[in-house]
Amino acid sequence: MALAPEEPELVQLLTPEGELVEHPDYRVDFSDEELRGLYRDLALVRRIDAEATALQRQGELGIWASLLGQEAAQIGSGRAMGPNDHVFPTYREHGVAWCRGVDPLNLLGLFRGVDMGGWDPEEHHFHLYTIVIGAQTLHAVGYAMGLQRDGMVGDGGPELTGAAVAYFGDGATSQGDVNEAFIWASVFQAPVVFFCQNNQWAISEPLERQTRIPLYQRASGFGFPGVRVDGNDVLATYAVTQAALARAREGSGPTFIEAYTYRMGAHTTSDDPTRYRIAAEVEAWKLKDPIERLRSFLIRTGKADQDWFEALEEESNQLAKHIRAGCLDMPDPSPMTMFDHVYVDPHKPLANQREQFAAYLASFESTSEEHS
Amino acid sequence: MSGQTTTLAKAITMGLRAAMERDSKVVLMGEDIGKLGGVFRVTDGLQKDFGEDRVIDTPLSESGILGTAIGMALRGYRPVCEIQFDGFVFPAFDQIVCQLAKMHARSKGHSRLPIVVRIPFGGGIGAVEHHSESPEAYFAHTAGLRVVACSNPVDAYWMIQQAVASDDPVIFFEPKRRYWEKAELDTSAGPPAEALDQARVVREGADITVAAYGPMVKVCMDAASAAAEDGTSIEVLDLRSLSPLDMDTVVASVRRTHRLVVVHEAPVTLGMGAEIAAQVTESCFHHLEAPVLRVGGFDTPYPPSRIEEEYLPDLDRVLDAVDRSLAY
Ligand SMILES: Cc1ncc(C[n+]2csc(CCOP(=O)(O)OP(=O)(O)O)c2C)c(N)n1
Ligand SMILES: [Mg+2]
């Protein structure tokens, strides 16, 4: 067993060097295959992210919000969920989406500008991306209150009970909505897990602009437990989320998880972080890379060999191809689609507007035909 | 060093700088406005020069920005708040509509709230949702707020200073897709003839009036140039102020041309055009040769960026309305 983590409050099960450590409250019990599965998830979502970033650079996406550095926080928490748990994400939860089985191309549609997401949130229990900071935390609480009323809370285990998981960032903790979500969840003992990825930055604003105390400590003021976990440790984020989910599902109320991590890239492809943070900080966090540590652990313990890594590399290449081709194939929507789904029951004024617009567009087609 | 070529964004930076130099009570508040200089770099360099007490990087909470700005204003400061994008003003909506707009009246004139809320607005930059909205009518519908929109660098420079100098709260809309457009700015020339709440005839014409503001002024100017080649003379108005509306200028123009088209990116239903049409109908009905027509966004959510050009009024849609009015 290796040294204890440098910070006593931080739950860690796998050190940056790839050594297992014990924790009095949290443990995982993975088979070798499961461990390789987690590595595969981490590697593939990083690949999705790299491909999307490249597609943005080539003008195929309008913008991309990279999850680079936050893979373990997302895979650990995402894989801890059961079939009845529901995710309420921000715009950066590509890894969680992956765990829930959402096709990455769905995510790309939003960033390419062909739709607003548009997937069915109930299909994979993964709700739409939310760009307005913090708004989804209240939705998660309300959803959890619904689960509660549907009899989905109790001792039936993950097959019969469920919880909602609200994802948000360190910056979001300053929003009124998020603080209201804490209060509601606490008052109603809603089965919800608040999963905060503290990546140290909210665009250019450092953590200190949002808080004077460690974020997880805020939870106690709202009346529920808070825990800080090494967000770059996929085993620890899994264990901590699993425990919080179990607590929520059995009716003991919310938990706040602060996944302590780092935004390795720019805020989005539109951002230039050299204006506000120093390279040394990024370099220091590189040493805590979430994927490297699992890789060295798997290699050192002989749980994965060279062939396995090579096969994964091949799978990763195939996935990148799928994403690239799928993105390039994504057609621009017809302009008329903007009138779709504005209401459940279409109404006449909007139908008229739609018709007029169709006639207007058609007038160009007939004039261009006349000229040709 | 008075004349220079300046972008609209830079002109606002210069205007803010001038306002801050003039009055030490002017403070800027907003997300990412310090080191980063704002996501559009409008406050670039100001924190370095005026310090962190006057250029305040705020926590990520718009209600907090507006609520504390109100408190600072009550203490004698003149906060200029930056809302990062149009779609993110709504967490602050309660503070603006229920508090900021009414406090002067509620205090029987004792309290003044000289706050400016800067909002980059409108579409056309290929952004994801909530980054292309045109929420101006919500604010123009609220008594107690002044609402203005600049359309070019020279106005941007002067209007932001006039807004800061105003003792009333001003919602200051900046046409984000025009941030990078350039013009000659001669700061020694003095402010334009129009007051902050006055419209301007930006192109004279005889056959029809087209009124717009913010990003749509350029579209209408281009439409007027194109129409001139076909022998139609369009008069273009830059409304500049949306609340109050300068109806004197609008009505005077309509009395000359007898026809009016109002253009904005915001949905037509209950938009600025609806109010202008109603007022023009009331005050110069007998001068009209055609009903007032509106060109604007549809009553749909702002669409994904790949089809936003179809949603946004363009030269063709403006000219289509001009033709329909002239054919009436
Ligand atoms: C209400 C609102 N205000 C401002 C923004 C602009 N904005 C987008 S992301 C962001 C920072 C978010 O930081 P954090 O919550 O830490 O999440 P991260 O991006 O680091 O994952 C800001 C200010 C927004 N999207 N919504
Ligand atoms: Mg963050």
pLDDT tens, position by position, A285-307: 999 999 999 999 999 999 999 99
Return the half-sphere exposure (C-beta side, CA atoms, 13 A cut-off) of residue A264: 21
Token representation of residue A85: 């748990």
pLDDT at B284: 95
pLDDT at B289 over 70: yes
Token representation of residue A169: 């960032």
pTM: 0.97
Residues of B in contact with A349 (CB under 8 A): 269, 299
- Annotate A152-167 with b (16+ C-beta within 10 A) or e (fewer): bbeeeebeebbbbbbb
Which residue pairs, CB below 8 angstroms and at least 24 apart, start in A321-327? A322/A105, A323/A48, A323/A51, A323/A52, A323/A55, A323/A104, A323/A105, A323/A108, A324/A51, A324/A55, A326/A105, A326/A108, A327/A55, A327/A60, A327/A61, A327/A105, A327/A108, A327/A112
A191 within 8 A of A144, measured Cβ to Cβ: yes
**A298-to-A13, A27, A239, A273 alpha-carbon distances in Å:** 14, 18, 19, 33
Give the total residue count for chain B.
Answer: 328
Ligand 1 lined by B93 (C-beta under 6 Å) = no
Q: Is residue B195 part of a domain?
A: no
Ligand 1 lined by A203 (C-beta under 6 Å) = yes
Q: A263 CA distance to ligand 2 centroid (A)?
A: 7
- Round to whole Å and give the CA distance between B198 and B212: 13
In the three-class reduction of DSSP (H, G, I as helix; E, B as strand; rest coil), residue A286 is classed as: helix
Q: Give the nearest partner residue to A339 out of B64, B300, B316, using CB atoms.
A: B300
Residues of A in contact with B35 (CB under 8 A): 204, 275-276
Mean pLDDT of B223-240: 98
- Tell me: do A165 and A62 sit in the same domain: yes
* Positions of B marked catalytic: 131
- Tell me: do A247 and A288 sit in the same domain: yes
Ligand 1 lined by A231 (C-beta under 6 Å) = no
Token representation of residue B318: 């403006």
pLDDT at B12: 98
Domain boundary among B189, B223, B258: B189
Domain of A142 in residue numbering reads as 32-329
Q: Which residues, given as ranges, of chain A have pLDDT below 70? A: 1-8, 367-372
- Tell me: do B105 and B223 sit in the same domain: no
- Tell me: do A308 and A353 sit in the same domain: no
- Round to whole Å and give the CA distance between B52 and B40: 19
Strands A226-230 and A164-169 come out as unpaired
For residue B112, the cross-strand partners are none
Domain of B129 in residue numbering reads as 4-189
Ligand 1 lined by A133 (C-beta under 6 Å) = yes
pLDDT at A9: 85
- Tell me: do A325 and A345 sit in the same domain: no
- Tell me: do A107 and A202 sit in the same domain: yes
- Candidates A131, A173, A271: best to mutate against B (most CBs of B within 10 A) is A131
Give the residue from chain A lying closest to B307, CA to CA: A335
Residue A30: burial class (beta carbons within 10 Å; 0-12, 13-18, 19+) = middle
Is 0.90 exceeded by the ipTM? yes
C-alpha distance from B57 to closest chain A C-alpha (Å): 8
Domain boundary among B167, B189, B211: B189
Q: Is residue B194 part of a domain?
A: no
- Round to whole Å and give the CA distance between A104 and A98: 7
| CATH number of the structural domain spanning residue B248 | 3.40.50.920
pLDDT at A7: 64
- Tell me: do A268 and A128 sit in the same domain: yes
A192's enclosing H/E stretch is strand A192-198
- Tell me: do B77 and B34 sit in the same domain: yes
**Looking at A27, A57, A209, A276, which residue is catalytic?**
A276
| CATH number of the structural domain spanning residue A124 | 3.40.50.970
- Round to whole Å and give the CA distance between B144 and B58: 26
Ligand 1 lined by A169 (C-beta under 6 Å) = yes
Q: Is residue B152 part of a domain?
A: yes
- Tell me: do A101 and A217 sit in the same domain: yes
> Cβ contact (<8 Å) for B35 and A338?
no
Count of CB contacts below 8 A, A vs B? 114
Q: Is residue B111 part of a domain?
A: yes
User: Relative to the CA of A173, which ligand 1 atom is closest?
Assistant: 15
- Tell me: do B14 and B33 sit in the same domain: yes
| CATH number of the structural domain spanning residue B39 | 3.40.50.970
B260: left (phi over 0), alpha (psi -120 to 50) or beta: beta
- Tell me: do A231 and A356 sit in the same domain: no
Give how far the C-alpha of residue B303 lies from the chain's centroid of Cα atoms, to the nearest Å.
22
- Tell me: do B205 and B242 sit in the same domain: yes
The reply to whether A132 touches chain B by the CB within 8 Å rule is: yes
C-alpha distance from B196 to closest chain A C-alpha (Å): 32
- Tell me: do B222 and B296 sit in the same domain: yes
AA letter at B11 = A
pLDDT at A1: 41
- Tell me: do B160 and B303 sit in the same domain: no
Number of domains forming the structure of chain B? 2
B182 within 8 A of B145, measured Cβ to Cβ: no
Give the residue from chain B lying closest to A348, CA to CA: B299
Q: Is residue A22 part of a domain?
A: no
Number of domains forming the structure of chain A? 2
In whole numbers, what is the pLDDT of chain B averaged over residues?
98
Give how far the C-alpha of residue B255 lies from the chain's centroid of Cα atoms, to the nearest Å.
25
Helical H segments across A20-119, by residue range: 32-57, 71-80, 94-100, 104-112
- Tell me: do B183 and B204 sit in the same domain: no
- Tell me: do A277 and A361 sit in the same domain: no
> Cβ contact (<8 Å) for A176 and B63?
yes
pLDDT at B1: 52
The reply to whether A332 touches chain B by the CB within 8 Å rule is: yes
User: What torsion, rounded to 10 degrees, do the Cα atoms A259, A260, A266, A268 define?
Assistant: 20
